[in-house]
Amino acid sequence: MFDLTGKKALVTGATGGIGASIAKMLHAAGAEVVVSGTRAEKLQDLASELGERVHVIAANLSDRESVDQLAKDAAAAMGGVDILVNNAGITKDNLAMRMKDEDWDSVMQVNLESSFRLMKGVMRGMMKSRWGRMVNITSVVGVTGNPGQANYCASKAGMIGLSKSMAQEVASRGITVNCVAPGFIATPMTDVLTDEQKGAITAGIPSGELGAPEDIASAVLYLASNEAKYVNGQTLHVNGGLAMI
Amino acid sequence: MSDIADKVKKIVVEHLGVEDDKVTDTASFIDDLGADSLDTVELVMAFEEEFGIEIPDDAAEKIQTVKDAIEFISANS
């Protein structure tokens, strides 16, 4: 089950805790993988860890040309892209009243616009081969909202609408477009929280603990597989029951 | 002109997976060759690439038959 042998995957934000886990899991299932991110050195470390069937392409997703180039380079490196995982995301948190224009713009650009451009960049190849999987990593707060994250929540909610529209456009070509919405996941980002802060967070989670990056990667693996061919335009919430939507 | 016509027909045959002899000048992509709306967009993009031209959306909408495509490309390339 979930055999991705021969499939070619592009994972953005692969230097992050969740992105690296996704890249590893798709690779372990047999896929050839392009790992992309901003930190070339960390990408190289990940690539060496994985061994064969891996390509490193650094890209700046806040730059349109760089995004379009990434889609082309990834297809050139692997001879096509069958699976796209838009995982890269940034936060620039602040209360709306204090939020600067550039904080709004950069979050929208990296989280939402780059996802759209990459989807657009790989979709023709998928249409020709009559098979494709696009998995967009959104967030529980894209559905619930979160004070201090108007830009981030808007971008993540945007990804859900974007995915549903794209899914309807390309479903007839054997392509699915779905989202995975993580809740609180233990990553280097959450390591810096104090035990008290973590306690406050886990108090709201029925399972009583933070999720692991592998919990997200497993959901991505499923949606990227042949087995998930009849799942389209959906958002799979992986949050320990934090929000039951 | 005939060179353009040959290339257009070749693209149509490849994209839609239809027999050569079905791709006549008057054949409609949708009604005669079984294309759906996504196919017609793909065809237009393939024409743009092959002939190095840009086909605006309003012109693309009017390209419904093989002949329409050949005429537009001949006039604009």
pLDDT tens digit string along A67-87? 999 999 999 999 999 999 999
A125 touches chain B (CB under 8 A): no
A173 touches chain B (CB under 8 A): yes
Could you tell me the pLDDT band of residue B1, with boundaries at 50, 70 and 90? low
- Helix axis angle, A17-28 relative to A40-50, nearest 10°? 30
Complex ipTM > 0.90: no
Nearest partner of A105 among A118, A92, A116, A94, judged by Cα:
A92
- In chain B, residues with a C-beta closer than 8 Å to the C-beta of A124 are 42, 45
B39 touches chain A (CB under 8 A): no
Q: Alpha-carbon distance A215 to A88, whole Å?
A: 17
Contacts of A191-196 with CB under 8 Å at 24 or more apart are none
Nearest CA in chain A to B14: A128
Could you tell me the pLDDT band of residue A127, with boundaries at 50, 70 and 90? very high
- Helix axis angle, B66-76 relative to B2-16, nearest 10°? 130
Residue with tokens 């809740």: A183
Instruction: State mean pLDDT over B23-33.
Output: 96
Q: Answer yes or no: do A124 and B45 touch at CB < 8 A.
A: yes
Q: Alpha-carbon distance A128 to A131, whole Å?
A: 8
Q: For a pLDDT cut of 90, what percent of chain A falls above it?
A: 93
Distance from CA of B76 to the nearest CA of A (A): 25
Q: Alpha-carbon distance A111 to A86, whole Å?
A: 8
pTM over 0.90: yes
Per-residue pLDDT for A93 more than 80?
Answer: yes
Q: Is B36 annotated in the active site?
A: yes
